[in-house]
Chain A
Amino acid sequence: NAGVMQNPRHLVRRRGQEARLRCSPMKGHSHVYWYRQLPEEGLKFMVYLQKENIIDESGMPKERFSAEFPKEGPSILRIQQVVRGDSAAYFCASSPGLANTGELFFGEGSRLTVL
């Protein structure tokens, strides 16, 4: 039973390029969360999605960032026109739904480096 799968594990982009990070939730999980972790800091909530719906995007920057969780396939976090400040580890987590113990299951993260 595979856990939350994220790829790529490491991504290097030059300023102005686009970054796409993918997340496949655990089998049977329909809720996906994206978090960002800057060096030496805790995880900061970005967005919460269910299949084909964005439930809470209160942590997403207003510009350049978008997320989707299509009916088929992984969730995608997209960062357009990356800047150096976007360099961080991006974690995806999943859960089966709200009626559970509240635990989120995390992937191993995708580390984005912007040159």
Chain B
Amino acid sequence: AQTVTQSQPEMSVQEAETVTLSCTYDTSESDYYLFWYKQPPSRQMILVIRQEAYKQQNATENRFSVNFQKAAKSFSLKISDSQLGDAAMYFCAYRIKAAGNKLTFGGGTRVLVKP
């Protein structure tokens, strides 16, 4: 079975500090996308960052960056200069290119930001 594991149910970070969320996945495929989605209390799923498996360079979007280790099947998210608005559930997900656009999600990590 193809799975996504987020081992940290909850992470707490001080405003302006940095927090790293871990994600590991298990697939035998070699061509896929990886994503981090944010789900604030409004419950809307918002795409934070995307990585293509064949690209070695780690993706970056403003204060969000990833550490993609393909051999280890690891895809961690770093939030720098944390802001109160970053407080949310964060979900790691992947999509196998040959399997349509079906996303497989991890169980989520709740991020708390302390002022």
A83 nearest CB across to chain B (Å): 23
Chain B hits for A69, CB < 8 A: none
A27 sits at the interface (CB 8 A): no
Q: Is the CB of B50 within 8 A of A44?
A: no
Q: How large is the interface on B (under 10, 10 to 19, 20 to 34, 35 or more residues)?
A: 20 to 34
**How many residues of A are in contact with the other chain, CB < 8 A?**
26
Known contacts A31-B101, A108-B42, then 9 further A-B pairs from the complex at CB < 8 Å, ordered by chain A residue: A33-B103, A40-B108, A43-B105, A56-B99, A93-B45, A93-B103, A106-B37, A106-B44, A109-B43
Contact surface of B with A, Cβ cutoff 8 Å:
4, 6, 33, 35, 37, 42-47, 50, 91, 95, 97, 99-108
Contact surface of A with B, Cβ cutoff 8 Å:
31, 33, 35, 40-45, 48, 55-56, 89, 91, 93, 95, 98, 100-104, 106-109
A109 nearest CB across to chain B (Å): 5
Given A101-B33, A108-B42, are A41 and B50 also a contact pair (CB < 8 Å)? no
